[in-house]
């Protein structure tokens, strides 16, 4: 009777207040938990209400709860989602279960999303026995308040003008990263960094981004609306935390959804514990092992050329993160240096190319494509020397692919050799049988030894008066 008796009254300290259910609206406290918004004077989200019930639900209390919920919702005209926080609801009887179903149905009829968090197993079992659980929806039940907020936040804020939502810290987010002058990937928006027009690196943020099916697709749709030209995406998983079967399935559904929108997708920097869960649940096989990369640069190397095919973005803001293939010529200090950087001429018959970075399954395709670009349009070229002293490491996949790369270059009439390999790289080539396939006579300990052997043969009958591999020759543009 309490609510009806006090509806028109102004009694602030009713002596019976302590025996009616305590109902509290929550908001995010500075300590990271959800607390009583009135008691701690916390701002409220315009679109999501977290309403906590601090008592059992029965035929005596449910009417009071109904009236309070309806009154609270009625005062919040921009509200889109209601989270009923029920970890303090120790029990519920059949009549209360039926009336709770009616309340949920009425709220949803007014286009409000309604979910529950923290209901005990006993309460869920009673809802099931009362025949209302399916109506309420098993997908609407979340273990924690944070999971519930993460699930409803993106859809609740779609098209919203709310500038500083107090619950945003708990929301799943996609942060676009770009190359920072310090040499790392940073938040493009925060640091005002230039972004690639065709390829995006998106870090998955938030404590529970895959708590629900709809949260990340909704976040992605909002991002994609602002970046209509991008068609290649790398999702960075470095911030992912706890992952179980449900989260794994939601990740699979999310990546599948993005691919169905026409995007090419890769995943990079996924923590080992998350990767193990994904593998154990069959998600890695479902999405494709070749979609997973150990690092962001590795994923970029795999996707960059395809993303930029037919486009003239030069320079791409992400290019500094890619492995570099540099053509070398003799520098005034007596060493071989980057011809483009130092304005040096290239030899017409021998291309000396240095690869900076690891050569593995993710970068070998980029290596071959970049190699082809550097050698294109050079009809007098006869020899290619890969200067391998900066090759950090090589895996078995790349080693085997290297045989094919060399074979294709030789089919073009080019003689291909490699020099300066570190012992561990050379050991991989030997162990996998690649050294024999490439030819031990084509592997030299140093660039000098390789050029001593190659240069005379490459210049037979040539009219090249000054070879940039023998003396310093500035390019015509610099000399001019």
Tens of pLDDT, residue by residue over 53-67, are 999 999 989 998 998
Residue identified by tokens 């940039």 is 468
Query: Where are any strands of DSSP class E within 154-291?
Result: 173-179, 185-187, 199-205, 232-236, 264-268
Model pLDDT, residue 477: 55
Structure tokens at 178: 């770009």
What is the arithmetic mean of pLDDT over 295-313?
87
d(CA 177, CA 318): 10
What is the arithmetic mean of pLDDT over 402-428?
91
Model pLDDT, residue 154: 85
361 confidence band (pLDDT: 50, 70, 90)? confident
Q: Which helix (H) or strand (E) holds 176?
A: strand 173-179
Model pLDDT, residue 4: 67
What is the arithmetic mean of pLDDT over 195-221?
90
What is the arithmetic mean of pLDDT over 82-96?
96
What is the arithmetic mean of pLDDT over 145-150?
91
Report which listed range, 41-55, 162-176, 209-223, is most confident.
Answer: 41-55
pLDDT at 10 over 80: no
Mean pLDDT of the chain: 91
More confident residue, 100 or 465: 100
What's the distance, CA 294 to chain centroid? 12
Model pLDDT, residue 324: 86
pLDDT at 440 over 60: yes
Structure tokens at 13: 């300290």
Q: What angle do CA 214, 49, 125 make, to 5 degrees?
A: 70
Model pLDDT, residue 456: 92
Residues 6+ apart with CB under 8 A from 358: 298, 323, 391, 392, 393, 394
Poorest-pLDDT segment among 304-318, 409-423, 452-466: 304-318
Model pLDDT, residue 132: 96
Predicted model pTM: 0.75
What is the arithmetic mean of pLDDT over 285-293?
94
pLDDT at 480 over 50: no
Model pLDDT, residue 384: 95
For the chain, what is the radius of gyration of the CA atoms? Answer: 32
For each of the domains in the chain, give its residue range(s) and CATH number, in order of start: 2-156 (3.30.750.24), 172-308 (3.30.750.24), 323-479 (3.30.750.24)
pLDDT at 282 over 60: yes
Strands 141-142 and 185-187: unpaired
Model pLDDT, residue 182: 92
| 68 burial via Cβ count (<10 Å: 0-12, 13-18, 19+) | middle
pLDDT at 214 over 80: yes
pLDDT at 203 over 80: yes
What's the distance, CA 264 to chain centroid? 13
Paired with 52 in beta bridges are 24, 85
47 confidence band (pLDDT: 50, 70, 90)? very high
Model pLDDT, residue 190: 94
> Could you give the dihedral angle defined by the CA atoms of residues 207, 213, 215 and 218, in that order, rounded to the nearest 10 degrees?
150
CA atoms 302, 306, 309, 314: torsion sign: negative
Q: What percent of the chain is predicted at pLDDT more than 90?
A: 66
476 confidence band (pLDDT: 50, 70, 90)? low
CA atoms 452, 458, 463, 466: torsion sign: negative
């Amino acid at each position: 009777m309490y609510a009806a008796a006090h509806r028109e009254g102004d009694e602030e300290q009713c002596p019976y207040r302590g025996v009616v259910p305590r109902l509290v609206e929550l908001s995010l406290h500075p300590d990271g938990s959800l607390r009583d918004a009135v008691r701690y004077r916390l701002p409220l989200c315009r679109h999501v209400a977290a309403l906590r019930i601090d008592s059992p639900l029965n035929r005596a209390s449910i009417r009071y709860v109904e009236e309070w919920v309806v009154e609270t919702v009625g005062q919040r005209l921009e509200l889109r989602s209601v989270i009923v926080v029920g970890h303090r609801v120790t029990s519920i009887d059949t009549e209360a279960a039926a009336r709770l179903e009616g309340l949920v149905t009425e709220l949803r009829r007014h286009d409000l999303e309604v979910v529950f968090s923290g209901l005990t197993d006993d309460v869920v079992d009673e809802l099931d026995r009362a025949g209302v659980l399916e109506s309420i929806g098993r997908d609407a039940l979340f273990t924690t308040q944070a999971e519930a907020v993460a699930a409803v936040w993106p859809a609740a804020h779609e098209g919203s003008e709310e500038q500083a939502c107090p619950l945003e810290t708990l929301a799943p987010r996609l942060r676009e990263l770009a190359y920072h002058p310090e040499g790392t990937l940073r938040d493009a928006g925060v640091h005002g960094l230039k972004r690639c027009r065709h390829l995006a690196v998106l870090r998955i943020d938030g404590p529970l981004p895959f708590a629900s099916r709809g949260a990340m697709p909704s976040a992605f749709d909002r991002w994609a609306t602002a970046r209509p030209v991008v068609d290649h995406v790398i999702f960075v998983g470095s911030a992912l935390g706890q992952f179980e079967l449900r989260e794994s399935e939601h990740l699979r559904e999310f990546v599948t959804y993005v691919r169905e929108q026409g995007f090419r997708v890769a995943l990079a920097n996924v923590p080992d514990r998350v990767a193990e869960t994904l593998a154990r649940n069959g998600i890695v096989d479902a999405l494709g092992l070749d979609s997973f990369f150990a690092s962001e640069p590795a994923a970029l190397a795999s996707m960059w050329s395809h993303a930029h095919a037919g486009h003239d973005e030069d320079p791409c803001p992400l290019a500094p993160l890619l492995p570099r293939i540099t053509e070398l010529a003799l520098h005034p200090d007596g060493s071989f240096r980057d011809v483009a950087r130092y304005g040096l001429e290239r030899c017409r018959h021998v291309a000396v190319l240095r690869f900076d970075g690891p050569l593995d399954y993710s970068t070998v395709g980029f290596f071959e494509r970049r190699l082809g670009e550097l050698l294109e349009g050079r009809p007098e070229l006869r020899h290619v020397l890969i200067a391998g002293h900066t090759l950090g490491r090589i895996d078995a996949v790349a080693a085997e692919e290297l045989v094919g790369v060399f074979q294709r270059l030789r089919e073009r009439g080019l003689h291909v050799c490699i020099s300066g390999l570190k012992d561990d790289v050379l050991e991989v080539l030997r162990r996998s049988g690649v050294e024999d396939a490439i030819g031990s006579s084509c592997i030299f300990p140093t660039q000098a030894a390789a050029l001593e052997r190659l240069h005379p043969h490459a210049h037979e009958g040539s009219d090249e008066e000054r070879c940039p591999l023998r003396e310093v020759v500035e390019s015509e543009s610099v000399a001019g």
